[in-house]
Chains A and B, each alone.
Chain A
Amino acid sequence: MKVLVSVPAVVRRGEAFEVKAMAMHVMENGFRRDMDGKAVPRKILNHFTCRYNGEIVLDCDWHTPISANPYMSFAVKAVDSGTLTFEWIDDDGSIERHSAPITVT
C-alpha cells in the first residue's frame, strides 16, 4: 500500500509541528453493490496509530465514514530527535508501517 507522510526535517525543542499522513486505500464500506447486484464486502483500514520514539501521539479507530485514501493531519510536540512511526491496520489483518526521521534542535 502506498502511503505519503509529511514530517518536517528539523524542529525546535518544545515546538508543536504538523504531521500529515495519507494512504492509498479504497475504504470499501460494505454498503455498495456491484453491477450484478451482489454486495461488495467491507474492506477498510480500521486503525491508525502514530508514535514518536515509541510514545503514542495518537491512536485512532476508523470506521466506514472515513473517506477513501484516508487523510489525517495533527499536531506533535517536539521532544527529542528520533523517529515518527505510522501504522495502518487493514480489515484483512495486514499492517502497513512507515517511519520518518526528525531532528530536534
Chain B
Amino acid sequence: MTAPVDRRSLLAAAAALTAAGALSPAVALAQTASNATVMAVALRPVFGDKPIKPGKVQLKVPVVAENGSSVQVSVGMDGPEMPKRMVMVATANPQPLATEIRFGPRAARAEVTTRLRLARSQTIVAAAEMPDGTVWATSADVTITSGACIELGE
C-alpha cells in the first residue's frame, strides 16, 4: 500500500515550490495569456472586436469572499484620465455583464465601489473605454467559499 498523501502536505509542498520560484515564471506567463483571453471573451459583447489592452484600470476584489451574494468590488483608473465609460463583468455568472458606468462632468474621479452577486468562484473583469476609443482592462480572481451549515431555502 502506498503512503496516504493528505491535503496539508500537498499544500505545503506546493507552497515550498512556489516560494522557491520553481513554478512561478511558467505559471505567471500562462496566467497572463489566459487572463488576456478571459478579458477578450468577457468584453466582446460590449466592445466588439476592439483590441483590449491590459492596464490603466484598477480593480479591487477580495481574494476570498465568504458569500457570493454580496461581494464588494471597486474600480478606478491609474491616473486622473476620465474614461468615456467603464464596465464590470462577472465572467462566470449566467449573465456576465454587471454594470456599465458613464461618468459625467461632476464626477471627481472615475471611481466606483459596488457589490456583486457572484454565482461561484470566478474572474472579474473591469474595463475602461477612453475618449480616444482605446479600451483598457484588468482582471482579478475571487474565490467564493461556502458556509459551514447547509441552509434549506437559504
Interface residues of A (CB under 8 A from B): 16-17, 27, 29, 31, 35, 51-53, 55-68, 70-77, 79
B95 close to A63 (CB less than 8 A)? yes
| Chain B interfacial positions (CB closer than 8 Å to A) | 69-71, 88, 90, 93-109, 111-118, 153
B109 touching A27 by the CB < 8 A rule?
no
Give Cα distance in the complex from A55 to B111, angstroms: 18
Between B69, B93, B100, B101, the greatest number of chain A beta carbons within 10 A of the residue's beta carbon is seen for: B101
Q: Which residues of A sit under 8 angstroms from B109, Cβ to Cβ?
A: 16, 75
B106 with A66: CB separation less than 8 A: no
Nearest chain-A residue to B100 (Cβ)?
A61
**In the complex, what residues of B have CB within 8 A of residue A72's CB?**
112-114
A78 to chain B, nearest CB (A): 8
| Residue contact A76 to B113, C-beta cutoff 8 Å | no
Q: Are A58 and B107 in contact (CB-based, < 8 A)?
A: yes
Cα A52 to Cα B114 with chains together (Å): 20
* Cβ contact within 8 Å between B94 and A64: yes
Q: Which residues of B contact A52 (CB under 8 A)?
A: 106
Interface pair B107/A77, CB less than 8 Å apart: yes
User: Lowest 4 A-B CB distances belong to which pairs?
Assistant: A56-B104, A16-B108, A65-B98, A75-B108
Nearest B residue (CB) for A62 = B99
| Min CB gap A101→B, angstroms | 15
Contact B98 A59 (CB under 8 A): no
A68 to B109 alpha-carbon distance, docked (Å): 26
A76, B115: Cβ atoms under 8 Å? no
16 intermolecular pairs with C-beta atoms under 8 Å apart: A27-B117, A29-B95, A29-B117, A55-B106, A58-B101, A58-B112, A60-B102, A61-B100, A64-B94, A66-B99, A66-B115, A66-B117, A67-B71, A68-B117, A70-B114, A74-B107
Least distance between A63 CB and chain B CB atoms (Å): 5
Could you tell me the distance in whole angstroms from the C-beta of A28 to the nearest C-beta in chain B? 11
Q: Complex: how many Å from CA A57 to CA B93?
A: 28
Interchain CB contact under 8 A, A68 and B69: yes
Residue A61 contacts which of B93, B99, B111, B114 (CB distance < 8 angstroms)?
B99
